Amino acid sequence: MTAIVFNCHYNGLSIIQELGARGIEVLALDNARSVGTYSRYATFCRCPDPIVAERDFVQYLLDLAPKFQEKPVLFPTNDHWATAISRYKNELSQFYIPCVADWSTVETIILKRRFYEWAIARGYPVPKCWTKETVQAIPDTDFPIVAKPEYRRISSDVQTTGHIAQKMDRLRLTLLETRGQLDRFLVEHEDVLDYLLFTEYVAGLSDRMYTIGVYANRSFEVMGMFTGRKVRGFPPDIGDCMVGQVEEVPQNLKDLVKQICREINYHGIAEFEFKQDAVTDEFKLIEINPRSWSWVGITPACGVSLPWIAYADLSGIETVSYTESHLPTGSVKWLRLLEDLPNCLVKNRRAGYPDWSMTLWQWWKSLQANHLVIAEFTLNDPLPGIYSLYLRVRKLLRR
């Protein structure tokens, strides 16, 4: 049996290593060399980038299909790979088993405006939302607000899509504390307002972000569930996860996730991101990522390997029963070592967050756990770590 992993950064690398160590043949498909493509468990194949060449990417898969005796399972690990596979799921399903939901579901989740409208209509706890047409009607009492992309990455055949995505990355979660700041923002970024929406600000830094990661089967029932919290992100306010840990969350959130999967017809791996308001302690559902997420590599160490559960269920290689992480909070941690260490020693202070600055000893103590999963380094697959270290040194030398 074969698995094909798309976008092979640390997210993809985790899936490659988990499946490869279990004896599954893995192809690592990406439009450029990335850390996961150096894994000893994977064979690298360069493919078109679906963010600007969606149809070429799909045709590449169709041309590749005759090489397989059995249908491989497809694992997209970023939004634009997931949207390309989902949009062409019926065509691809003749030759592959996509670990992704149908397009009607993925489209609703990816387009944040549509998702918030869907969720608000059902009474789910998402932030208030406004568009460029309604933003002037925001009451003064609802400030501060944030500007955020309607989507960060989506597949297309338009060459400017990559440029738009880069600008959305720069603007994502721009805090607008007053109406004056909002008015200036609307003028300065008039050219991309169609790609933005404005939402209620949920107070707190990145350590208030909670993840419920799931795999839902073809009947939209959750068969694996991981719960955790982002301990440190960078930048500290809105940044990607640098340290995450297993953590219990309220039962009502877990029940809510299962209910949403059924109501929205969700199938595949997903990350539900909640933020706990630093003022009210209320949990808000910020978004759903319709694919695996950056620190999915923590899940095997928590007894709920979402990559394996998904593969086993989709391929039929093994019977799957419901599994949920129940380890003590903080007993397993996940670390981006080559990013988190310089952040804590230097970059957090420079970014304006001195409380997140640490000495080397404080940093090491903060990582104490029964099991520490390091994204870059593992003894049985050393080359991705060596390549990651090479990239870090090269970046430092260029500076």
Tens digits of residue pLDDT in 298-344: 999 999 999 999 999 999 999 999 999 999 999 999 999 999 999 99
* 3-state class (DSSP) for residue 295: coil
Q: Return the pLDDT at 232.
A: 97
Low-confidence ranges of the chain (pLDDT < 70): none
Q: Return the pLDDT at 160.
A: 75
Domains present along the chain, CATH in parentheses: 2-101 (3.40.50.720), 128-200 (no CATH), 206-398 (3.30.470.20)
Q: Return the pLDDT at 269.
A: 98
Measure the CA–CA gap between 396 and 212, rounded to whole angstroms: 35
Mention every residue, 6+ apart, whose C-beta is less than 8 A from residue 63. Answer: none
Amino acid identity of residue 331, one-letter, is S
57 class by beta-carbon count within 10 Å (0-12 exposed, 13-18 middle, 19+ buried): buried
Check whether the bond before 144 is cis (ω within 30° of 0): yes
Structure tokens, 219: 């009947």
